[in-house]
């Protein structure tokens, strides 16, 4: 059964809304097909939001005197930079309720990275969409991705996992913040963090926390955790986690089962099989030999299995 949908922001054109400068859309089949079953989209087009019509003259990023501005292609005196930044700030309260954001690549308003910046010479892909840049500055912990990069299995899995982590964080806060809840949250995500970043540093942060400064500690934890989760997990790091999990079965498994599990982990390390194979075998053993810590960990159940993201890692 699919859980309640998670709210994420999205560039309106990606779900089929005809809001582009030429009156067209850029509907993305993976987004409107697969992801729509799990995410509630909050569509937004900042160019329409600041009052530009459909259709409208195209805009681009222009570098002049060392500053990048968002201007009309043919009439650079028509500058929309400040309006787009202001619009991102106005949407701040709505963005607070999001668990992720999917942006339109190459857009001078929404592009996350490598947007063309025009100047005296050939355009250079070094810019960030003005609205996107301000939105990300205001919400540094928010998982953000471009629709073009979702075609990469590792980037897609990383983004969706971050969305689910942030959703669980928000659900935790909705029930009231406490040190015990923070500690439990960290424990349940420890193995995911082990595959991506420095879980020990986050653990030390919580170990030194006190009730008086708990909200401040939680804010630091959130930003550092989400920053660490941007790191793509490598096979080597996953192998370390798999072997760590295997240690919880050292007294329960027969010699034959231990040998098989080691071989499967080795095959994953060598790139011969996907991550789903050793994880499925581990799940099988823990069904027969339950462990409270592993049962509570999100590492082997990071998001709905129907998404099948782990099958390609």
Distance of alpha carbon 92 from alpha carbon 76, whole angstroms = 28
pTM: 0.95
Domain edges within the chain: 6-151, 153-228, 235-312
pLDDT tens digits, 223-252: 999 999 999 999 999 999 999 999 999 999
Cα angle at 247 between 234 and 282, to 5 degrees? Answer: 70
Distance between CA atoms of 270 and 310, rounded to whole angstroms? Answer: 17
The Cα-based distances of 167 to 98, 171, 221 in angstroms read 9, 6, 15
**Contact (Cβ atoms closer than 8 angstroms) between residue 4 and residue 38:** no
* pLDDT of 121 above 90: no
How many angstroms separate the CA atoms of 294 and 191, rounded? 9
* 3 band by pLDDT with thresholds 50, 70 and 90: low
Residue 2 has pLDDT above 70, yes or no: no
pLDDT tens profile 50-106: 999 999 999 999 998 889 999 999 999 999 999 999 999 999 999 999 999 999 999
Q: What is the chain's Cα-based Rg?
A: 22
Q: Which whole number is the average pLDDT over 279-299?
A: 96
Q: Give φ, ψ of 103 to 5 degrees.
A: -105, 160
Query: Which pLDDT belongs to residue 1?
Result: 40
Strand order in the sheet with 144-146: 39-44, 6-11, 101-103, 144-146
Q: What tens digit of pLDDT does each residue of 197-227 get? A: 889 999 999 999 988 899 999 999 999 999 9
Neighbours of 137 (CB within 10 A): 12
**Res. 175 pLDDT band, cuts 50 70 90:** very high
Mean pLDDT of the region 287-300: 95
């Amino acid at each position: 059964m699919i859980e309640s949908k998670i709210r994420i922001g999205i560039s309106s054109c990606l779900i089929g809304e005809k809001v582009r400068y030429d009156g067209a859309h850029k509907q993305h089949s993976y987004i409107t097909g697969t992801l729509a079953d799990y995410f509630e989209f909050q569509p937004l087009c900042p160019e329409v939001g600041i009052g530009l019509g459909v259709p409208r003259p195209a805009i681009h990023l222009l570098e002049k005197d060392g500053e990048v501005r968002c201007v009309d292609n043919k009439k650079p005196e028509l500058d929309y930079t400040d309006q787009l930044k202001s619009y991102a700030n106005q949407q701040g309260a709505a963005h607070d309720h999001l668990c992720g954001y999917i942006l339109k690549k190459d857009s001078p308003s929404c592009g996350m990275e490598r947007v063309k910046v025009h100047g005296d010479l050939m355009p250079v892909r070094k810019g960030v969409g003005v609205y996107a840049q301000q939105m990300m500055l205001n919400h540094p912990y928010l998982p953000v991705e471009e629709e073009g990069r979702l075609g990469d299995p590792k980037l897609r899995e990383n983004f969706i996992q971050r969305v689910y982590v942030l959703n669980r964080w928000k659900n935790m806060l909705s029930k009231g913040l406490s040190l015990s809840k923070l500690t439990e949250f960290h424990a349940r995500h420890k193995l995911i963090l082990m595959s991506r970043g420095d879980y020990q540093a986050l653990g030390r942060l919580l170990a030194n926390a006190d009730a008086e400064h708990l909200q401040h500690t939680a804010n630091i934890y959130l930003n550092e955790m989400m920053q660490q989760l941007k790191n793509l997990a490598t096979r080597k790091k996953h192998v370390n986690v798999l072997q760590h999990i295997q240690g919880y079965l050292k007294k329960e498994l027969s010699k034959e089962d231990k040998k098989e599990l080691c071989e499967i982990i080795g095959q994953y390390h060598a790139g011969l099989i996907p991550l789903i194979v050793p994880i499925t075998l581990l799940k099988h053993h823990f069904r027969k030999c339950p462990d409270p810590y592993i049962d509570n960990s999100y590492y082997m159940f990071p998001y709905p299995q129907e998404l099948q993201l782990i099958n390609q890692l």
